[in-house]
Amino acid sequence: MTTPSTRIRAGDQDRERVATRLQEASGEGRLTLGEAEDRLAAAYAATYVDELTALTRDLPEPAPPRGARFPVPLRVHAAIVAVLSALLIARFAVSDAEFFWPLFPMFWLGVSLLAHAAVRGRGRVVPY
């Protein structure tokens, strides 16, 4: 009686992800050209996921993408603040007001954006 294997077969996406990480590591100077070539060949020849894991085990985790500092919800909020501020300024420009009244709503829009950024920075927000 044979028992089913507990190993998970690697897919093309798995191989490509590891190959990209190996190329990045080579570009960072963490792997010599020879090591990078050997590991890339092994990555494309790998059959199981654990074989791929072994190829990157001694490499540090990749840096987060540049856009991670400003997640999409925060960028959308900032865009809304900018559009509303532009509309307020346009409304002021066509009015006969003697003082710059859009300053007050723009101040509170800015405060809402800063509060949103602070709350997201603490990790208290549920992922969008």
Q: Predicted confidence band at 80 (pLDDT cuts at 50, 70, 90)?
A: very high
48 neighbors 42 (Cβ within 8 angstroms): no
Query: Given this model, what pLDDT does residue 126 score?
Result: 47
Q: Please name the residue that has the structure tokens 């509303």.
A: 84
Q: Record the tokens describing residue 7, joined without a space.
A: 């190993």
- pLDDT tens readout for residues 10-69: 999 999 999 999 999 999 999 999 999 999 999 999 999 999 999 999 998 876 666 556
Query: Given this model, what pLDDT does residue 1 score?
Result: 46
How do the domains of the chain map onto residue ranges? Answer: 12-56, 66-121
3-state secondary structure of 48: strand
Residue 63 CA to residue 109 CA, distance in Å, equals 32
Question: pTM, whole model, 2 decimals?
Answer: 0.49
Query: Given this model, what pLDDT does residue 125 score?
Result: 44
